[in-house]
Amino acid sequence: MSAASAVARLNARLIRRGVLWLALVIGFFVFVEALTYENTYPDDAARAKLVAMSDEPALRMLQGVPHAVDTVGGFVAWDAGWMLSAIIGIWAMLVTGRLLRGEEESGRAELMQVAPVRASRIVVLQVAVVAAALAVLGVVTAVILTALGTGVTGSVVFGAGLAGFGATCAGIAAIAAQLLPVRRRVSAVATAAFGVFFVLRMAANSADARGGLRWATPFGWLDELHAYRDPNWPALLVLLLAPVILFGTAVRLRRLRDTGGALIAGTDHARARLRYLGGPTGFAWRTTRGLLLGWLLGVAAYAYVTGALVATVLDLIRDDPNYQKTLEAIGWDEADAAGGFIGLMGILIGLLIALFTCWRIGAAQNEEGTGRLDHVLARPVTRSRWLSGHLLITAAAAVLIATSAAVAMWAGAASSGADVSLADTLAANLNPLPVVALACGVAVLLYGAFPRLTVPGSAAVAVTAYLIEMVGPGLNWPDAILSISPFHHLASVPAAPYRPVAAAVMTAVALAFILVGHALFTRRDLTGD
């Protein structure tokens, strides 16, 4: 085996589990979206109403300008495309930062360079591995959509677009990895760029006059793709060429610096910042606050838009019996239409917060994987105290995100003239916190037993549970399956009464998972990435 092949195989092994989990989640998501469309909009009349509703400005800002939404494939691309691209893009940025900068930060990159392979050649192999993984995700999407009868050409174009979008995000992270010396900063800069791109997309889709802004953001390129009716080939070309240019730039920049160095070097004479370095909990907060701010702003923006959609969705519910039946099947109360809708949106935001907790426990696993935990435990700090600090930060951050989402949702509803109070949005967004605790418990359990599955395993469980609850009732799945999902045991608060018994049971199970995971962690050896 050549040295280059060995390097490629090593990097592929580092991300293979994440790719597998992500492929399963995306495949299931696409399959469920297609079934939901067939069930909710079974005839031309229902689909015509969907077309009319989908062109509302607030909905366009969130999901994009509708195109071919009267077809199964077009609906999946419009309704799920933005979320699929967000999941794939964020994963691509984090993985690229881990391979290109994380390996140097840990010192393992120097071991790869012992082989007769140049540093720039290693970067080529690393980005090639990431690109291949994204291609696999695109193929999975295309194959499932084709099997569902949406059309070969549209499915291939959409799958290629998703892969190109992810590769573009990876290319941005690859360049940041050459400019910045710390993996954490690479992730922060890449996710900040991701947030700017999403805001530009929202601005572009808010009105036809601003449509030209779509060409300034990869999200807009994907919106312009029109995979299932009159594909926009220049948009696909941009999605496929942009990663090549970005990756090529990253390789070129790698040749200009030393291993372990960065093109934007930090100053050596800056004043020491010692705040929050007095203990593991303070340090966990210090390393979390930047990305927590990003999560706060992102979830709050989403909550604001969903609040602004209340009036539009209520009009659709009144006029579309099929949509009404679907919402009733998943807990919507016709007597309180506004409360039922924000209750459903609160549960969706609960999923986002659950994913945040999975990521936050993953940050603890990353601290162990990079070897920083070894230095902490060499001090008079026990494993129990260290992990408890991370759990405290995670719990406080989850409550903070839920509260900020409630305020933003209330502000959005007020802007549309909907009769929704702040108390209602607080109830809706705090209601799913027991499920959030359960997701955190699963992450801690996996961290104690199988550290590398901490994030992909717990995130996959959370997303699958949500999809079971959102789709299962409308498809008449048996109660035995629906009961598996903890979301099924939540009431649509504030339209329905809060369920304290279910909340207490889920919280107790979450605590049990946390205690078991905690015990396993204190008894096992520390591991690396």
Query: Residue 426: which of 443, 444, 404 has the closest Cα?
Result: 404
Query: Residue 14: which of 106, 120, 129, 116 has the closest Cα?
Result: 129
Q: Dihedral of CA 465/62/361/134: which sign?
A: positive
Tens digits of residue pLDDT in 75-102:
999 988 988 998 899 899 989 998 999 8
The confidence score (pLDDT) of residue 202 equals 84
Tens digits of residue pLDDT in 235-245:
999 999 999 99
Single-letter amino acid code for the residue at 26: I
What is the token pair recorded at 413?
């509803």
Between 162 and 365, the higher pLDDT residue: 162
The confidence score (pLDDT) of residue 334 equals 59
Residue 267 predicted with pLDDT over 60: no
What is the token pair recorded at 71?
């077809």
The confidence score (pLDDT) of residue 324 equals 62
Query: Residue 176: which of 162, 194, 188, 163 has the closest Cα?
Result: 188
Between 319 and 165, the higher pLDDT residue: 165
Distances, alpha carbon 421 to alpha carbons 56, 59, 409, 418, 426, in Å: 23, 21, 10, 9, 9
H and E: helices and strands count for the chain: 23, 0
203, containing H or E segment: helix 183-205
Residue 501 predicted with pLDDT over 90: yes
Between 379 and 276, the higher pLDDT residue: 379
The confidence score (pLDDT) of residue 366 equals 82
- How far apart are the C-alpha atoms of 418 and 410, rounded to whole Å? 9
Kindly state the average pLDDT of the residues 113-133: 89
DSSP reduced 3-state for 112: helix
Between 151 and 275, the higher pLDDT residue: 151
What is the token pair recorded at 76?
């999946």
- How far apart are the C-alpha atoms of 6 and 191, rounded to whole Å? 30
Kindly state the average pLDDT of the residues 181-200: 86
The confidence score (pLDDT) of residue 85 equals 94
- How far apart are the C-alpha atoms of 224 and 342, rounded to whole Å? 30
- How far apart are the C-alpha atoms of 441 and 439, rounded to whole Å? 5
| Region of poorest pLDDT, from 73-87, 205-219, 464-478, 484-498 | 464-478
Residue with tokens 């889709």: 205
Query: Residue 142: which of 257, 26, 40 has the closest Cα?
Result: 26
Kindly state the average pLDDT of the residues 375-390: 88
Could you tell me the pTM of the whole model?
A: 0.81
- How far apart are the C-alpha atoms of 256 and 259, rounded to whole Å? 10
Q: Could you tell me where the DSSP H helices lie in 330-421?
A: 337-369, 372-377, 383-415
Residue 321 predicted with pLDDT over 70: no
Tens digits of residue pLDDT in 10-58:
899 989 988 998 998 899 889 988 888 888 788 888 788 778 777 776 6
DSSP reduced 3-state for 97: helix
**DSSP, res 80:** T
| pLDDT bracket for residue 151 (50, 70, 90) | very high
Kindly state the average pLDDT of the residues 427-455: 95
Distances, alpha carbon 281 to alpha carbons 244, 375, 397, 435, in Å: 42, 15, 13, 24
- How far apart are the C-alpha atoms of 362 and 456, rounded to whole Å? 9
